[in-house]
């Protein structure tokens, strides 16, 4: 087992990082897919490395229709099996019954509570038994991701390895790859969306705004994470 220092030193092209991860961790490895541009790119890259790679997604109960359309287009194009994980029914019912349908806009704590039920708990379930997981995170995306590495030790989830193969990529590179390979993508991007999550927490951005400005727009930039990617990783 490599140390945290050795893990953090691993760098290369996204394809090289994915190939290394497959060699090291398959079959206890999976891609967390939210059907962002980045995640679709990773699915495409993995087709050339390990077509049967496990792919999971979180259905929060409040996703946009366009996100589901993208998921289905991806499934049909590559024949991949997408493992959907849902929040606990009783937890969602209790939250909405006691706090209402839009409690997440009342305070940061309330928003974190909603994300915890709809995202964090299902993610923990999806990661059960894994040694490593793959995300489409990039440093350019947010002030909370500027220190992101391609390979990290995820202390929050029991010390498993977390891979961010596209960490170094720019938005221009993401779009160039998407267009070159004619990949399916969420059509909300064509309507001005730059970062897509749950429908009530996501909106289009204006010209010149930061790409993350459309997520939880009522909050400060340093708070714009849902709890899936907490920065407590060893280096």
Which residues are part of the catalytic machinery?
A: 226
Cis peptide upstream of residue 165 (ω within 30 degrees of 0): no
The phi and psi torsions of 58 (rounded to 5 degrees) equal: -105, 115
Nearest to 77, CA basis, from 199, 183, 220: 183
The phi and psi torsions of 82 (rounded to 5 degrees) equal: -100, 120
- Angle (CA) 176 163 5, round 5°: 125
Helix (H, G, I), strand (E, B) or coil at 37: helix
For residue 29, the cross-strand partners are 132
The alpha carbon dihedral of 112, 194, 144, 42 has a sign of: positive
The DSSP bridge pattern shows strands 54-58 and 29-32 to be parallel
Q: In angstroms, rounded to a whole number, what is the distance separating the alpha carbons of residues 43 and 46?
A: 5
Q: Tokens 């990661």 sit at which residue?
A: 127
Q: In angstroms, rounded to a whole number, what is the distance separating the alpha carbons of residues 155 and 108?
A: 23
Torsion of CA 30, 178, 64, 221, to 10 degrees: 80
What are the tokens at 35? 């059907």
């Amino acid at each position: 087992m490599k140390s945290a220092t050795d893990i953090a030193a691993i760098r290369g092209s996204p394809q090289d990082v994915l190939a290394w991860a497959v060699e090291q961790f398959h079959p206890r490895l999976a891609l967390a897919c939210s059907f962002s541009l980045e995640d679709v790119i990773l699915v495409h890259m993995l087709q050339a490395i390990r077509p049967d790679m496990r792919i999971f997604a979180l259905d929060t109960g409040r996703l946009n229709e366009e996100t589901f359309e993208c998921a289905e287009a991806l499934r049909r194009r590559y024949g991949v099996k997408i493992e959907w994980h849902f929040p606990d029914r009783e937890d969602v019912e209790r939250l909405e019954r006691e706090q209402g349908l839009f409690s997440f806009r009342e305070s940061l704590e309330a928003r974190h509570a909603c994300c915890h039920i709809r995202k964090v708990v299902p993610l923990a379930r999806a990661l059960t038994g894994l040694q490593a997981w793959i995300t489409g995170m990039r440093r350019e995306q947010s002030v909370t991701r500027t220190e992101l590495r391609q390979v990290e030790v995820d202390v929050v989830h029991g010390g498993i390895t977390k891979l961010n193969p596209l960490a170094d990529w720019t938005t221009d590179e993401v779009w160039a790859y998407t267009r070159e390979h004619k990949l399916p993508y969420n059509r909300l991007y064509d309507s001005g969306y730059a970062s897509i999550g749950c429908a009530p927490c996501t909106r289009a951005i204006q010209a010149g705004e930061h790409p993350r400005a459309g997520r939880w727009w009522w909050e400060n930039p340093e708070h714009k994470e849902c709890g899936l990617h907490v920065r407590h990783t060893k280096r």
